[in-house]
Structure formats: C-alpha cells, structure tokens
Amino acid sequence: MNDAFSLRKLHARIFAHGLGNHIFLGSKLLNCYAKSRHFEEVIRRYINLKQWNIGLDSAAITFSVKSCIELGNLEFGQGIHGDALKSGLNANGFVGSSLMGCIVNVGVLTMRLNGDQRAYEAFRFAHMQRQGLHPNRVTLVSLLQAASQLETLKEGCSVHGYAVRRGIAGKEYPWLHIRVGVQLDLVASTALVDLYSKSNKLIQARYLFEKMEEKDAISYDVMMAGYLYNYFASEAMDTFLEMVGEGIKPNLGSMLSVLSATSELKDIRKGKCIHGHVLRLGFDSNAEITNQIIYMYAKCGCIGNARQIFNKLRYRDLVSWTSMMMSYVCHGHADEAIVLFRLMQREQAEHDSVTFITLLQAICQLGSLSLAKEVHCHLYRANMNNDISITNSLITNYSKCGKLNMAANLFEHAVERCLTSWNTMILAYGMHGKCKEALMLFEQMKNVKIVPDEVTFTSILTACSHSGMVNEGLEVFKSMIEEYSIVPCEEHYGCMVDLLSRAGLLEEAYNLVKSLPSGLAASTVITLLAACKVHGNTEMGEILGRRLLDLDPENSSVFAMVSNLYAEGGKWGEVARVRDAAKQRVAKNGTHNYSKLTRISSAYKSSLSNFNSQLQTSYSHSIMPELQPNTPSPPYDLIILGASGFTGKYVVKEALKFLNTPSSPLKSLALAGRSPTKLTQTLKWATHPNPPPPIPIITADTTEPPSLHRLCTQTKLILNCVGPFRLYGEPVVAACAETGCDYLDICGEPEFMERMEAKYHDRAVEVGSLVISACGFDSVPAEFGLMFNSRQWVDPALPNRVEAYVSLESEKRIVGNFGTFESAVLSVANADKLQELRRSRPRKPRPAIPGPPPPKGPTIEQQKDIGLWAVKLPSADAIVVRRTLGVLTENPRGLPGSNESAEHIEKREAFWSTVKPVHFGVKIGSKSLLGILHIMTVGIFIGLLGRFSFGRWLLLKFPSFFSVGWFRKKGPSEDEVRSASFKMWFVGKGFSDSSLVSQGNRKPDMEIITRVMGPEIGYLTTPIILLQCALILLHQRNNLPKGGVFPPGIVFGPTDLQERLQENGISFDVISKKAISS
C-alpha cells in the first residue's frame, strides 16, 4: 500500500470505526506514509495528532523528524524538537538520534556560525547530559557528521573522546593526537575519517582509514573526497586504484571523485581509462557522471572529445549545456560557445544566470558589441537584468568593447552592487585611462562602507601607473597597508615599481625592491631592470642584474637581460661569466635556449682584440637589439610544422632549395611534429640521394599548447602544414598570436579562416604577429590571377566581372590528397557554423562595382573560348578574394608596412591603384561533358553525405569510392605527381570605356582572357607558393603590415611574389583581348 490515496482510504475507515483517537494506530499511519515517501502527509497527520489532542509517542516524533529531514523543513523540525522536550520523549534513543540527524542534515548547527548559542548548546555534551541524554553510536555518528560539516575539529575530538570514555571506542594513540577504538563500527570509523580529513588532518585520517578492519565503497569515497578537499588529487587517484585492487565495486560517488582527481591532474591517459571504467560499470547514463566526464576532457585540453560526449547525451540538463559552454570559453573557442547557446535556444533548454554569464564571457573574448547588446535585450525580456553577477559581466563587456559610458550607466543604475561590481567598474576606468574617475569611484566606494580587497587596489594602482599619477598611487598603496591591513602581494609591488620607474624615480623604486621578501622580488626586479636600461642607469642595473641571477637562475630571459646590460657597459668579463653560467644551465637541463646568447657573447669577446674601447662601445650598440629582452632574436628563421605529412614533406624539399643560398634570407630551418622518427625519415626522403643536412628536429603537438608556445618562441615564422585546419589549426594560430610569431598556412577552409580573423586579429595586431592563411593553391593563383587580369584593363577600360575556370590535367591519372578531400567534407559539415559566424560579426563595407551584376547562367556551361565544359566550384577561392576586396575597400591604398620604406610606399600605392573591384566566381572545367558529370557526381556525394555524421564517416572511410578514384588515403604516387599540372583561366568582361557604365543596363562590350599555369596543385604548386611567401616575409618584413589576420592577396599583392612564382614554374599569361557584342 504505497499510494497516498489508499492510505487516506485506510485512514478514513479507522475514523469511521471510532479508532481515530488511538495513538498506536496514528503512529502506524505515519510509518506507512513515511515508508511510501509521502512526507508532506506525515507532517499533516502529525499536525492532526496535536490538533485533536490524540497525543504523541516516540514513533510519531521519529517519523515526523525524518520527514522534516527529507523536506528540508528546518522551522517545523525545531517545533517537533520542542514537542519532544515538553513531552519528555527526548530521552528516547530513537528520538534523540532522529533529532540529532535533523540538526546535522538540515543545518541547525550552522546557527553557531551566525551567533545562535542555543543551537551550539544542543551540540555540547554537558547540555545533553543535563537533559538526561546518553548518546549511542547512531547519535555519535550524527554528531561527528555535524562536526565534519562545520569543520570544527575540537568538538569532533570531544565526541571521539566521549566515545572512548563510554567504552564505545577503546584504544588511544597520543602520538597522532587521536583515539582509535577497535570497537568502532564501519559507519562511525568512516565519519571519523571524514572529520579529520576535512579538518586538514590527513595523516590522522589516513591512519584511521588504514586501521579499519572492514572497508566499503563509501569508506573509500570519503577518503578520496578528503584528499580532493585538501588538493591531493594524485593520492585520491591512488586510493581509487587501491579500492579497485581490493575488489570493491565503485559506486556513483567513487566515479565522481576519481573523475575530479583526473581533471585536477590533467592526465588524459588516466582520464580515458576511467571513462572506459565508467562505460563498463554502466554509469554513462547518469547525467552527473557524464557532465563530470565532459569537464574532465575539457580540463585536459581535449575539447573535441568533450563535445563528442556532449553530442551523445540523450538528455542534456542545464549543467551539461553550461559545462560545455564554459569549456569552450576556457579554451578560447568563444564562437563555439555562442553557437552552442543558439542550439540551446532552438532545443528550448532552460538557462540560468550562470549560462548567461558564460555567454557574456564568450562575447567578451570576441569583443562583439552587437552580440552584447543582443544578450542585454534578452535579459530584459527574461527579467534577469537585475542579477548582480550578470550586471557585472555586462559592465565588463561594454568596457572592453569601448563603450565606457554604457558600462558606467549600467553601474549607476544597478539595483544592487557588490564588491565585484565596484572592482569591475574601477578596472573599466583604468583600462580606458580614466584614472581620476577610478579614484573618485574608489572614494565613493569607501563612503558607502564597501571594504576594498586586493583586486580593488591592483586595479587602482595599475590605473595610476598608466596615467603617471605618482602621488595618488603612493597614497592608495599606503592606505591599503595602514587603513585596510592588506598585505601587498606580487602584483601590488609590481604596480608600484612600474609607477615609480615610469616617473624616473629609480632610487625610490630600488628602495622598495630591497625591502621585498625574496619570493616576491624576481618579477619586480625585472621591471626595475628594464627601467634602468630605459633611463641609462647602468650602475643600479648591474646591482639588480646580480641579484636577479641569484633570485631566478632558471629563467631564460634573465641571462639575456643581464648579459645585455653588461655588454652596454663594456664589461666583457661579466658577459663571459654570464655566458658560462648559461652554458652550465644548458648542460644541466638539456635545453638550447641560450645558443644565440652564446654566439653573441663570443662575438663580443673576439671583438676586444680588434677594436679600441670607443669602437667596442659602437660595436656593442650596433648589435644590442639582438639581446633586448623584449624582442629576443629567435634561433630559427623558419619552422615547418607537420613536416612529415603528405604536403609537409614536399614543403621541406622546397625549403631546402633556398636554405643558406647566397640571395636567400633563409639561413636557419627546423622541422617540427609529433614523431621525431617520421621527421627524420622525411628529411632523408627530401635530400635523397644526398645525405641529410643537420636540420634540428623539434617535438610539438597541436593538442599540447605549451609545446606550440615553446615552438613559436624559437622562430620568426611558422609554416603550418597540419590539417584539417578546423581540427588542428587554431592552437597554432593562438600560440603565434600570443608570442608575436608570424604564421603562414595552406588552408582552404573558409570557416577556419574567418573564425581565426574574428578571434585573433586584434591580438595579432597588438603583438605584431602576421597571420596569413591560404598561401598555397588555395588561394594565391586565384587572387593573383584576378589581380593580373584586373591590371590589364587600362584606362578608360573598366572590368565588371571575372570568372575563373580551373582545369586539372595529367598524362596519367589525377589523384588528390586525402587531406583536401577531408577539408571539403568538413566544410560542408560546418557550412551552418560559417553562416552563424558571419551573422555574429559586424557587416563590412562591400566594394562598389560598376555596371550590372552578372546573370546567373546555366548550371553546366560550355566556354568555347578556352575549350572547356564547366560547373560552379564551391571552393575557398571566391571567399578569399572577397575578403581581400573588402580590406581594400577599407584601405584603398593597401595596408601600410610596420617600418615601410618610401620606395615601397610608392610601389604599394601605385599597385593598388591599378586593381579594380569586380564580381568574381570560380568554376571547375573539363574538356568533356562526361568529365563534368564525373565532377558533379563527386560534389553530390560530398554535399549530401557531408551533412550527417554517418555520411561523413562513410566519405572519410571510403574516399576512393565516393570520389570515383580522385582521392585516396595514401595519396598519389611520385609519378602521378610529376605528370600532373593545372591551368586556371580568367575570363574578364567589362567596358571599353568607363562612360558606358552610366548608360542604363548596358552589357559589357570587352573581354580579356588571362591564364595562370603550373605543376601539380597539392604537392608541387602549393609548396612553391608557400615558400616564396615565406621568403618575402623574411626578407621584406618591414614593408609588410605589423600584424593581423589577413588573406594573402592584400599582404603580398604589391610585393614581387608574382615574379618569384614565374621564376619557379608558375606562369602568368595574357591570352586574348577583344571586343564582344553587348
């Protein structure tokens, strides 16, 4: 009898027979209601027992208290406690244990933290004894759980001692400061382990755990939770392995704990093992477990694995969506987080303030004002705009998007403000250089009795430093220590040293540095040392240099800074000493970070015998830029990443042609990838039959961002050949945009290129990193072929449209790279994401093209002038060309160089004045209609199957079948590569005179056909183009833009790239110029 209706019928019959005033039957009914989990009915019937004066017994009290525990009804539980005291039933063992359980589970004991001494008295044994209570094991366990919840070790030890004195626990271990009773049962022992582990007494907790004669899954769970609570994730993992080794089956809590441990350790191998264990135990259907697995993969950097788990979830709760969004944000995939939120909306999943805060963090990374406004409006409609955390996130977004007035308005009209609100607004003023406003807000904050914290003072001191307000900064620093008793941390001291150094107060800054603890001094010494170089105070700089070598001997930049300083002062003996110290560190750690420093120092030493002191000084200043700590000269001019891949090995072969040749800027080269063995084999293949040169091999993996960061610090330029770029390209771009390294790749994936521009353009401009995609057959022939055709239209002629026709030819069989096929499949799969990305970005101005737009035309076209049948090709070329024309619309004279020569400025402006915007499209051609049908068949397969996961699996599993033999996983043979070639025809149509454009819908009356022709596209043409772009970038870096994410045409257009390509087998020809009927 488990349903409430049946129980009510029984209750009614009891009253109908006149038995309603029997306390025994009333208690039995309460028992039935409680066992059937109808806890609200238990409370109602308990009230009836009191109202009808039937009376109470121990059973009624016990079941009612347990119902309060389940319902979390603290107030009613206190009332029952009072009833028990009045009726004298509190002395009953079952009642006492139930009441203590209520205290523990509902939280009455937390009243002690709020100053309620009555709840605390209920905990004290003296009070219990005055009431005649003698706790049993159940009560003691409840008390231990209460002490564990409150983390009150003293009271918990009192309970433990009481158990010893009462004979419930018998043996004492004074050297551990605990007592261990051999008679404690499993539950009590587990409660003690929980108490000691949460009270930072892990040694005692572990000892108790090991002395337990019997252990179950909950005991291990508590021990693992204790380790995690104290940040010992490795020990938690070991405990889990011990548990499995003992043959104890893990429960839900065990798996959650071990997954948390794996997340903290960031050990993906163990994480995958645990994931497999979850699948074997059948826990994968549990939402909490699955959410923790998603978090684990994300924490380990495997964001793709996390998304796969997310996609497989049958039921996604709020935590699932929010966890996945947070994972994307933490790994810099802000656009993916926004797309996920859109999907969340489409599926009508619920969302809360945490979801919107995560969404706003993603928008903040993108710096999109329009999206921030859209979310703000949505929050108004959902009546969530008054949430304090959301308001703070909106303030941050508006300030970072440059809308300081909107941020200030939000702050002023906020319904509620917390400390974080004030800190956020102060930081916003500081970011915008509004130091006076930040100080005024700080004063206002103090007036309303908001106590500032460390973050507040960091924000204010940073603002003062950037604004040069020394006196105000000193006052703030003084008040932080004297008025608010905040101990300054490393950030505060760094701000103060920077503030004083910028003002030229080096002595004051030095006195501050001298007073610092050694643990906080290294970063501030570096700041002051840099200031000494700026202000020319070499004497103080030498003192700081010696101290810095003692403080931070493992920091590679320290040796360069100190050696640089000594060299400026002409102290070559000290330079040699630093060099020796650097060599010793290299020998110790097996690294070569100082090879450049060693060569420079040796050059300094050899110069002593050839120059007098005056010339030495001149020599020192002439080469000092190589040792500047902010712009160290990397050891390699170029690193090829993914050199062992299909295309990568041909890029290596092409690069070796230009290594150390007299006219080449390429003097040093390294190869990078996951497998040193494969890289070595690539080098042997590229130089066969000659022996390979001593080219350094560097291990790097796109799934390990630290390895990419190290890679970028060792080179001027990265050539990325690792594809598909949507899967493996972003970490490399992110590392380059963070370190200032230049980047070229051979990507033909529009979604990747536009996403990189959206995410990393501003950062790349800031650090001086030039990021250029599509530097291969995709899409340099299209861009330069179009510009070549456009420049043939000499005034007064004017082009209107250019159609490109790609023709692939071979004496043998045409076979493409599997990577190209995979990129095409993924492009179809991500077409919706590309559209979503474009909608989320501000619309850029489009070029004004004279004349009417071109007609749509037939699906299959016969182009008789060039002898081809053709069909539209959905490639990256047209998109890349439109991006270049878009940038040119905003910058009609092109992009200025970082340190451009006057000659190049004149050349750049003259070049772009001859390039006219046109309508542009790309088609793929064949000499026969059958060939076009062949192409269309492959396109239909990719277009239809690429939209579904199973279809993509089929395409990528059997590429040769679905491409009718054009693509295969092993790629083409060397004979097939040598026999292949391409022709790209550019059919331009326009007006013989620009005045004809104004004559209504006048059709073009002139046609110019040009052609770009070269060897096989993937393995010969692409490496040629990529290497020539790299050589130009190395040789003419000052004439190119400082940084940013751009298509190749806008960067390399005014350079001699076309001439270089012609010298290396890629020709540009004018085929015909003629009038056509309009």
> What DSSP letter does each residue of 736-775 carry, written as one string?
HHHHT-EEEE----HHHHHHHHHHHHHHHHHHT-EEE---
Residue type, 713: T
Mean pLDDT calculated for residue range 840-859: 80
Burial 564-589 (b: 16+ CB within 10 A, else e): bbbbbebebebbbbbbebbbebbeee
Q: Which of 548-552, 578-582, 862-866 has the highest mean pLDDT?
A: 862-866
Q: Which of 108-117, 656-665, 801-810, 1013-1022 has the lowest mean pLDDT?
A: 108-117
- Half-sphere exposure in the Cβ direction for 69 (13 Å, CA): 18
Reference 544, options 552, 554, 598; nearest CA is: 552
CATH number listed for the domain at residues 636-772: 3.40.50.720
Question: Kind of pairing, strands 770-772 and 1044-1046?
Answer: parallel
Question: Any idea how long the chain is?
Answer: 1078
Band of pLDDT at residue 44, cut at 50, 70 and 90 = confident
Read out DSSP for 932-977? Answer: HHHHHHHHHHHHHHTTSHHHHHHHHHSHHHHTTTSB-TT---HHHH
Mean pLDDT calculated for residue range 1031-1057: 93
Q: Which residues contact 104 (CB under 8 A, 6 or more apart)?
A: 142, 143, 145, 146, 149
In whole angstroms, what is the distance from residue 176 CA to residue 23 CA? Answer: 51
Burial of 369 (0-12, 13-18, 19+ CB in 10 A): middle
Angle at Cα 576 formed by Cα 573 and Cα 581, nearest 5°?
130
> Is pLDDT of 257 > 50?
yes
Burial 944-972 (b: 16+ CB within 10 A, else e): ebbeeeebbebbbeebeebbeebbbeebb
> Is pLDDT of 564 > 60?
yes
Cβ–Cβ under 8 Å, residues 1066 and 1014: yes
Reference 1021, options 644, 654, 753, 652; nearest CA is: 654
> Three-state SS string across 408-436, please?
HHHHHCCCCCCHHHHHHHHHHHHHCCCHH
The pLDDT value given to residue 733:
94
The pLDDT value given to residue 773:
93
Cβ–Cβ under 8 Å, residues 488 and 517: no
SS3 524: helix
Distances, alpha carbon 78 to alpha carbons 62, 94, 113, 123, in Å = 13, 17, 18, 14
What are the residue ranges of helices labelled H in 608-695? 613-623, 646-658, 676-687
DSSP letter, residue 469? -
Band of pLDDT at residue 598, cut at 50, 70 and 90 = very low
Question: Kind of pairing, strands 171-173 and 178-180?
Answer: antiparallel
Mean pLDDT calculated for residue range 783-791: 93
Radius of gyration of the chain (CA): 37
The pLDDT value given to residue 593:
43
In whole angstroms, what is the distance from residue 562 CA to residue 575 CA? Answer: 8
Domain range list for the chain: 1-131, 135-212, 636-772, 781-1075
pLDDT tens figures, 124-142: 544 555 555 566 666 666 6
Helical axes 750-767 vs 334-346, angle rounded to 10°: 140
Better-scored residue on pLDDT, 520 or 828:
828
Cβ–Cβ under 8 Å, residues 746 and 645: no
Cβ–Cβ under 8 Å, residues 256 and 218: no
The pLDDT value given to residue 26:
67
- Half-sphere exposure in the Cβ direction for 919 (13 Å, CA): 12
> Is pLDDT of 452 > 70?
yes
Residue type, 913: S
Q: Which of 353-367, 861-875, 880-894, 949-963 has the lowest mean pLDDT?
A: 949-963
> Is pLDDT of 582 > 80?
no
Better-scored residue on pLDDT, 480 or 819:
480
Compute the CA torsion angle 721, 722, 724, 727 (nearest 10 deg).
Answer: -140
The neighbour count for residue 697, using CB atoms within 10 Å, is 17
The pLDDT value given to residue 627:
32
Reference 736, options 774, 779, 705; nearest CA is: 705
> Is pLDDT of 737 > 70?
yes
The mean pLDDT of the chain is 79
Question: Kind of pairing, strands 868-872 and 919-926?
Answer: antiparallel
> Is pLDDT of 883 > 60?
yes
> Is pLDDT of 888 > 60?
yes
Compute the CA torsion angle 1060, 1066, 1067, 1068 (nearest 10 deg).
Answer: -80
In whole angstroms, what is the distance from residue 397 CA to residue 487 CA? Answer: 31
Reference 335, options 860, 838, 931, 893; nearest CA is: 838
> Is pLDDT of 171 > 50?
no
Provide the terminal-to-terminal Cα distance of the chain, rounded to the nearest Å: 92
Better-scored residue on pLDDT, 813 or 287:
287
pLDDT tens figures, 949-1008: 788 788 878 877 777 777 776 777 788 888 888 999 999 999 988 888 877 678 888 999
Q: Which residues contact 749 (CB under 8 A, 6 or more apart)?
A: 724, 725, 726, 823, 826, 827, 876
Burial 297-322 (b: 16+ CB within 10 A, else e): bbbbbbbebbbebbeebeebeebbbb
Band of pLDDT at residue 368, cut at 50, 70 and 90 = confident
Band of pLDDT at residue 591, cut at 50, 70 and 90 = very low
Q: Which of 87-101, 152-166, 617-631, 856-870 has the lowest mean pLDDT?
A: 617-631
Question: Kind of pairing, strands 860-863 and 868-872?
Answer: antiparallel
In whole angstroms, what is the distance from residue 925 CA to residue 873 CA? Answer: 9
Reference 627, options 663, 660, 603; nearest CA is: 603
Residues paired with 1073 in a beta bridge: 1008
Better-scored residue on pLDDT, 655 or 380:
655
> Which strand (E) or helix (H) includes residue 225?
helix 217-229
Task: For the chain, give percent helix, strand, coil, nearest 5.
Answer: 65, 10, 30
Reference 925, options 978, 987, 879, 972; nearest CA is: 987
Cβ–Cβ under 8 Å, residues 171 and 182: yes
Mean pLDDT calculated for residue range 594-612: 39
Residues paired with 770 in a beta bridge: 1044
